[in-house]
Amino acid sequence: SEWKNIKDYSEIIFERMGKIAKITINRPEKRNAFTPVTVQEMIEAFNICRDDATIGAIILTGQGDLAFCSGGDQSVRGNGGYVGPDHIARLNVLDLQHLIRIIPKPVIAMVRGWSVGGGNILQLVCDLTIAADNAQFMQTGPKVGSFDAGYGSAYLARVIGHKRAKEVWFLCKPYTADEAFQMGWINKVVPLADVEKETIEWCNEILKKSPTAIRFIKAAMNADTDGVAGLQQLAGDSTMLYYTTDEGKEGRDAFLEKRDPDFDKYPKFP
């Protein structure tokens, strides 16, 4: 089996192989730096994955061996954000971070080469990260006049600890794949030639598990770290399940039939 194109885009590649989707940032000449267009295309592709019941896992990666993503394209950075064809300066990568967090399917970052700046935050917000042994991880914000004080800082501190997270941001130094692994920043390091095979194996292992169980585990961890917004996701998943029960349907049916609901017949679990 091989990757099959799902939809054509200008700055990403969007493919699938069976139940696994792969979104590839395709600007290797810029170390896969993203523009508002790249981000908008990724948002659309992730939403397609979200709605497609036949997709169970999503890989996010960058084209080529040199970089996963080098963050926002500094050549289109304008006054207040990154500027696309609509001439509006925006930070739409924050919407993408949030989407990766809330999409109820596992998202796995596959990192070859540099993972830098806003690109490294995309790696961070993915559920799991498999890195090639040539991967390097770095935040550059304070060097290039930028910062991510959201997931990029507060959530990074949850993942690697406060001292380490401050070190990453204050010094802006690169970390090898092995160092990132030691910090708990990423899940596994494999030889460059094996990284896609390994990532697909992890996807296939997850795909054998109950998708609803995976969904709730992801939502529960978000609830713990994302406050009311995280709780909303877990609550929404509960509502979804409740809507599938006879008890939930009785409430809807009684309303539509203009009668009192009879909830007595449903079990009251301990």
Report the residue from 16, 22, 31, 218 that binds ligand 2NE according to the rule CB under 6 A. Answer: 31
153 is in an annotated binding site: no
With contact defined as beta carbons under 8 Å apart, do 150 and 97 qualify?
Answer: yes
Strands 12-17 and 20-25: antiparallel
Phi, psi (rounded to 5 degrees) for 243: -60, -25
- Please state, in angstroms and rounded to a whole number, the distance separating the CA atoms of residues 136 and 117: 11
Site string for ligand 2NE, 42-81 (x = CB under 6 A): ------------------------xx--xxxxxx------
Q: Could you give the CA distance from residue 255 to residue 239 in angstroms, rounded to a whole number?
A: 18
Q: Count residues contacting ligand 2NE (CB under 6 A)? A: 23
Is residue 118 close enough to count as binding ligand 2NE by CB under 6 A? yes
116 is in an annotated binding site: yes
Residue 241 binds ligand 2NE, judged by CB under 6 A: no
Compare residues 56 and 118 and give the one whose CB is closer to ligand 2NE: 118
Among residues 3, 18, 19, 30, which is the contact residue for ligand 2NE, using CB under 6 A?
30
77: region left, alpha or beta (phi > 0 left; psi from -120 to 50 alpha):
beta
CA angle 74, 79, 82 (to 5 degrees): 45
Q: How many other C-beta atoms lie within 10 A of the C-beta of residue 261? A: 13
Residue from 25, 45, 93, 200 binding ligand 2NE (CB under 6 A): 93
Residues binding ligand 2NE (CB under 6 A): 30-31, 33, 66-67, 70-75, 91, 93, 114, 116-118, 140-141, 144, 146-148
Give binding residues for hydrogencarbonate as ranges.
139-141
